Chains A and B, each alone.
Chain A
Amino acid sequence: MEQVDKVLAGDGFFTSRLSDVIGWARKFSIFWYPFVTACCGMEYMSVSCAHYDIDRFGAGLPRFSPRQADVLFVVGTISQKLSPVLRRIYEQMCNPKWVVAFGVCTCTGGFYDDYATVQGIDTIIPVDLYIPGCPPRPETVLDGLVKLQQKIQDQKQAIV
């Protein structure tokens, strides 16, 4: 009995099935916030339009307010001058939230290995998914999206 109490007080009880259901619901209702700063935005636009039909993954609707979004999509080079803005946008998003680094500039700084560019947005905010490429092809982005869905499904859901 003592052991059962310990389990109930600790990691939990409901983690097995309810978490799966919530994960399933969350992964098919991704509302993303496109933080588009550079040329990768063109590729983002082609991904999000009809040709690649991103709606079949439940991610068809971008929200242009961080307060309504689940996934922060950082698309394009982030300069040091812009970095406080990116951080603030991240802080404004509600939990649960995920961050996608779209393109090599957001992953590592890319070939902008210089004084003006943030050398990967993971030096500022936590990143869940890296999509490399300069710019990534739409197929790569969709592949990344499926991986992000898997990650959302598999994680332990914070039930609030």
Chain B
Amino acid sequence: MEESALIQSIRAKIANDILGFHSFRGDDTILVRRESVFAVLKMLKEEFDFNMLADLTAVDYLGQEPRFEVVYHLNSLEKNIRIRIKTPVNEGEEVDSIVSLWAIANWLEREVWDMFGIKFKDHPDLRRLLMYDEFEGHPLRKDYPINKRQPRVAPIWKGIR
């Protein structure tokens, strides 16, 4: 596959951490090893001027190994370019938190934990963000039953909470 200039220059720095890469219509994606995510993102922020974390999310590829992919979207406001970093994560594995790089990652990582059950190592406050604390399971996982409902309060005529 043809390499863009951006991927070439990044690859020169972190060749050992890269699992794969591709470019599609001007958007570059790099797949990196889970252990080196923090170092790669820090390097991109400091040396390639990607100063904005536009999004942090995850995908559940149920049935594949490894099961999840955590996705980081970075913007460079100076250079007006963007890049996507992905890292494969398996059930029970932890990803390094990047809250120390971008403060917005705090809530985004909490959302990923809430929806997918992926834990982030060294996160300052890894609680559910959208669902309530009593909620069981992680609703955006592909094996969460689509019709499962977990009412939080009982009907008032039952007299209990």
Task: Give Cα A81–Cα B152 distance, bound, in whole angstroms.
Answer: 7
Contacts of B157 in A (CB 8 A): 126
Which range contains the number of A residues in contact with the other chain? 10 to 19
The reply to whether A123 and B155 contact each other, CB–CB distance below 8 Å, is: yes
For B130, B131, B151, B152, the residue with the greatest tally of chain A CB atoms inside 10 Å of its CB is B152
Task: Give Cα A140–Cα B156 distance, bound, in whole angstroms.
Answer: 28
The reply to whether B153 and A81 contact each other, CB–CB distance below 8 Å, is: no
Task: Give Cα A115–Cα B148 distance, bound, in whole angstroms.
Answer: 6
Report the stretch among A24-32, A82-90, A129-137 that lies at the interface: A82-90
The reply to whether A84 and B144 contact each other, CB–CB distance below 8 Å, is: no
Contacts of A83 in B (CB 8 A): 151-153
The reply to whether B130 and A116 contact each other, CB–CB distance below 8 Å, is: yes
Within 8 A of B (CB), among A94-126: 114-116, 118-119, 123-126
Does A91 have its Cβ within 8 Å of any Cβ on chain B?
yes
Contacts of A116 in B (CB 8 A): 130-131, 139
Does B150 have its Cβ within 8 Å of any Cβ on chain A?
yes
Does A46 have its Cβ within 8 Å of any Cβ on chain B?
no
Task: Give Cα A36–Cα B151 distance, bound, in whole angstroms.
Answer: 21
The reply to whether A87 and B131 contact each other, CB–CB distance below 8 Å, is: no
Does B132 have its Cβ within 8 Å of any Cβ on chain A?
yes
Contacts of B153 in A (CB 8 A): 83-84, 87, 124
The contact string, 1 if C-beta is below 8 Å from chain A, for chain B 121-139, is 0000000001110010001
CB distance from A109 to the nearest CB of B (A): 10
Please list 29 pairs of residues, one from A and one from B, whose beta carbons are closer than 8 Å in the complex, sorted by A's number. Answer: A80-B131, A80-B132, A80-B135, A80-B150, A80-B151, A80-B152, A81-B130, A83-B151, A83-B152, A83-B153, A84-B153, A84-B161, A87-B153, A114-B139, A115-B139, A115-B144, A115-B148, A115-B150, A116-B130, A116-B139, A118-B151, A119-B149, A123-B151, A123-B155, A124-B153, A124-B156, A125-B155, A125-B156, A126-B157
A residues lining the B interface (CB < 8 Å):
80-81, 83-84, 87, 90-91, 114-116, 118-119, 123-126
